[in-house]
Chain A
């Protein structure tokens, strides 16, 4: 469907207004000149209200995620690439091969079109790098003051090959726990960019799609029980979730958990714990102790897993506690995150 518009979208100086969500010509123009251009694929080009896709192999996997982030642009990415990575990773952690993505935009009146264009372009590039197609979408515009620039929801569809059965309830006593790299990079990158914090750092978000890393683990580690990406709540909260699902405890070694020195220093300054900070390009994997070396080598042989480490083991514990042995030989809990992480007064 080709339509002629009086004037092309002004992607340099234009701003989102309410007409872009009205369902009329302005909205269609936005879709054609921006979204379709950045996402371009045969299903989207059909311009239907749905994407009709060929049958998939294996079992169908689906994941959805909403992205609300301030600032929209941060070192290492932006809300657009993050929206792709987040949903791809949710699929990949189940051993699924991501195939298609749908996207919902909620735009705030006044959002510069230049920002939207950059976000949409980086979404397209992130999807292309993964090899998935953004096949359908939706756009709404809310009045100024009722949004935070832009909110993005993505739903991903993929398939799980036969014989792959990963789930959070499969950790077994004696298993080893691995992480694919340093903890807390994304959370601290976002925090360092917040206007009211005002400190300079070189910390970059780790935002990345982990589908290659997860596929390699699935392929090479026969006893792989589960994978999970430690996003909100960080490593601590994610491990507590798994311990709860599998009805086991965990015993970690604090010195084995990789943390970027800059992130550690910034956390120190703010009285925060990097093990509770969000990650957007890291995974946790659990497998039998016999396969620990294979899993570690598999992770470390990929650029996104070069700092991978074995950080602990699954233990029997009726309380399902995640415990950490400190460098001093003492032990402490690594508890669920309670509420927001708030810097201490002093």
Chain B
């Protein structure tokens, strides 16, 4: 595949790995957080950890939109489906996220709820046009990457005067989350970040400058192909060795400092910052999410259906919170692979293929991690 295979060449990967091994200072540890689940997935899928020197620790971050969605928000989506009888259009991986009372959108569907998996927001609009006598709600979820299509759907719905379409907006923002992670009292010690390139194709690389400078950490915006991740690791090691902070870009093939102005303007027109938003694992994070702009209030499902937000605590045994903050690894969780599996996820990190627990379970549970004493049973 043109433009894909070039970034998956084993000989080049081994060359970069050798280069990294020559760069690292054996006397120190390099604690790098891959912020985004896409990186976590690539690292596990291609077995990258095994190529890196043992003193480079890759720490999973909170960058999976499904993982950080709090239970209360899934409960609200289920309420829309079962109580308000809407057609809920959603991206696929939200279906299995556990909600309160052992519910999920999958189970809501089994109870008669009309939940439809879609691949783009235009599908949700089409379903609304095809079902004029039904209320259709798009479950908007994701980071800055998936926000512009939601914004375009809002604009289109307004232009068309859609009466039966609205958006349940749960879009969250990465720079405030990074800030929150670093400022927390119990923050894990980090030496640098592998930043998400798909986010930066929209917002650019500049929005990370403030946090990188404030906390004196290097951030390298990296693509999701294995060679991207390895190259970003090499760049971070060099930054750390030389005491450099600030933001640099590995993914130069699509990321600019200022991002995509058109996409940003349509988001700014249709949405606005929330004062605060709950993230699973991180708690309330100020100015970290978007709500629908008052000009588009008619298309805001939270207002149309008067959805109250209720905080629901995570399962006591679940360590998703600590894993999302980088404090623990999936294998540190007592229920990992035993009570909590991809077939029966207890926590959200086990749901999405981009979740740290699911990635570790699917691809690497035969590998002993530094904190493990034995390979997990229960294949």
Binding site for B on A (CB under 8 A): 196-198, 261, 264-265, 268, 270-271, 319-321, 323, 326-333, 335, 338-340, 342-346
| 20 A-B residue pairings within 8 Å (CB atoms) | A198-B119, A264-B1, A326-B47, A328-B14, A328-B226, A329-B51, A330-B47, A330-B49, A331-B47, A333-B364, A335-B362, A335-B379, A339-B96, A339-B342, A344-B38, A344-B41, A344-B93, A345-B93, A345-B354, A346-B146
- Closest chain-B Cβ to A190's Cβ sits at a distance in Å of 15
**B95, A342: Cβ atoms closer than 8 Å:** yes
**B361, A335: Cβ atoms closer than 8 Å:** yes
**B44, A342: Cβ atoms closer than 8 Å:** no
**A330, B46: Cβ atoms closer than 8 Å:** yes
A319 to chain B: which residues have CB within 8 Å? 366, 375, 377, 379
A197 to chain B: which residues have CB within 8 Å? 119
Is residue B299 within 8 Å, beta carbon to beta carbon, of the partner chain? no
**B366, A323: Cβ atoms closer than 8 Å:** yes
Partner of B10, one of A198, A320, A326: A326
Partner of A343, one of B47, B92, B362: B92
User: Which B residues, 1 to 28, have Cβ-Cβ distances below 8 Å to chain A?
Assistant: 1, 4, 8-10, 13-14
**B365, A333: Cβ atoms closer than 8 Å:** yes
**A339, B1: Cβ atoms closer than 8 Å:** no
- Closest chain-B Cβ to A256's Cβ sits at a distance in Å of 13
User: Which B residues, 37 to 58, have Cβ-Cβ distances below 8 Å to chain A?
Assistant: 38, 41, 44-51
Q: Measured between alpha carbons, how far is A323 from B95 in the docked complex, in Å?
A: 28
Q: A197-B119, A327-B10, A328-B46 are in contact. Are A346 and B38 (CB under 8 A)?
A: yes
B50 to chain A: which residues have CB within 8 Å? 329-331
Partner of B92, one of A333, A335, A342: A342
**A335, B66: Cβ atoms closer than 8 Å:** no
Q: A319-B377, A320-B379, A321-B366 are in contact. Are A346 and B142 (CB under 8 A)?
A: yes
7 nearest A-B residue pairs (beta carbon): A330-B47, A342-B92, A338-B342, A327-B10, A332-B363, A328-B13, A330-B50
- Closest chain-B Cβ to A228's Cβ sits at a distance in Å of 19
Is residue B325 within 8 Å, beta carbon to beta carbon, of the partner chain? no
Is residue B233 within 8 Å, beta carbon to beta carbon, of the partner chain? no
Please, what's the 1-or-0 string for B336-347, where 1 marks a CB less than 8 Å from any CB in chain A?
Answer: 000001110000
Q: Measured between alpha carbons, how far is A217 from B365 in the docked complex, in Å?
A: 35
Partner of A345, one of B1, B4, B91: B91
**B47, A345: Cβ atoms closer than 8 Å:** no
Is residue B218 within 8 Å, beta carbon to beta carbon, of the partner chain? no
A320 to chain B: which residues have CB within 8 Å? 379
Is residue B188 within 8 Å, beta carbon to beta carbon, of the partner chain? no
Q: A332-B47, A335-B362 are in contact. Are A321 and B10 (CB under 8 A)?
A: no
- The residue of chain B having its C-beta at the shortest distance from the C-beta of A343 within the complex is B92
**B14, A329: Cβ atoms closer than 8 Å:** yes
Q: Measured between alpha carbons, how far is A64 from B93 in the docked complex, in Å?
A: 32
**B198, A333: Cβ atoms closer than 8 Å:** no
9 more CB-based (< 8 A) A-B contacts, given A319-B377, A335-B362: A327-B9, A329-B10, A329-B51, A330-B49, A332-B47, A342-B93, A342-B95, A342-B96, A344-B354
Binding site for A on B (CB under 8 A): 1, 4, 8-10, 13-14, 38, 41, 44-51, 65-66, 91-96, 117-119, 123, 141-143, 145-146, 198, 226, 341-343, 352-354, 358, 361-367, 375, 377, 379
Q: Measured between alpha carbons, how far is A262 from B337 in the docked complex, in Å?
A: 35
Partner of A333, one of B41, B96, B118, B366: B366
B118 to chain A: which residues have CB within 8 Å? 196
B51 to chain A: which residues have CB within 8 Å? 328-330
- The residue of chain B having its C-beta at the shortest distance from the C-beta of A199 within the complex is B119
- Closest chain-A Cβ to B96's Cβ sits at a distance in Å of 6
B343 to chain A: which residues have CB within 8 Å? 338-339
- Closest chain-B Cβ to A342's Cβ sits at a distance in Å of 3
- Which of A197, A261, A319, A321 has the most chain B CB within a 10 Å cutoff? A319
**A345, B66: Cβ atoms closer than 8 Å:** yes
Q: Measured between alpha carbons, how far is A327 from B341 in the docked complex, in Å?
A: 28
B38 to chain A: which residues have CB within 8 Å? 344, 346
Q: Measured between alpha carbons, how far is A197 from B8 in the docked complex, in Å?
A: 27
**B377, A343: Cβ atoms closer than 8 Å:** no
**B364, A332: Cβ atoms closer than 8 Å:** yes
B1 to chain A: which residues have CB within 8 Å? 261, 264-265, 268
**B4, A268: Cβ atoms closer than 8 Å:** yes
Partner of A326, one of B46, B95, B119, B358: B46
Q: Measured between alpha carbons, how far is A270 from B120 in the docked complex, in Å?
A: 12
Q: Measured between alpha carbons, how far is A261 from B352 in the docked complex, in Å?
A: 26
- Closest chain-B Cβ to A203's Cβ sits at a distance in Å of 14
Q: Measured between alpha carbons, how far is A343 from B91 in the docked complex, in Å?
A: 8
- The residue of chain A having its C-beta at the shortest distance from the C-beta of B44 within the complex is A332
- Closest chain-A Cβ to B69's Cβ sits at a distance in Å of 10
- Closest chain-B Cβ to A227's Cβ sits at a distance in Å of 24
A332 to chain B: which residues have CB within 8 Å? 44-47, 363-364
B92 to chain A: which residues have CB within 8 Å? 340, 342-345
Q: Measured between alpha carbons, how far is A328 from B9 in the docked complex, in Å?
A: 7
- Closest chain-B Cβ to A86's Cβ sits at a distance in Å of 25
- Closest chain-B Cβ to A313's Cβ sits at a distance in Å of 17
- The residue of chain A having its C-beta at the shortest distance from the C-beta of B342 within the complex is A338
B341 to chain A: which residues have CB within 8 Å? 338
Q: Measured between alpha carbons, how far is A197 from B41 in the docked complex, in Å?
A: 24
B119 to chain A: which residues have CB within 8 Å? 196-198, 270, 343
A335 to chain B: which residues have CB within 8 Å? 361-363, 379
B14 to chain A: which residues have CB within 8 Å? 328-329
B48 to chain A: which residues have CB within 8 Å? 328, 330
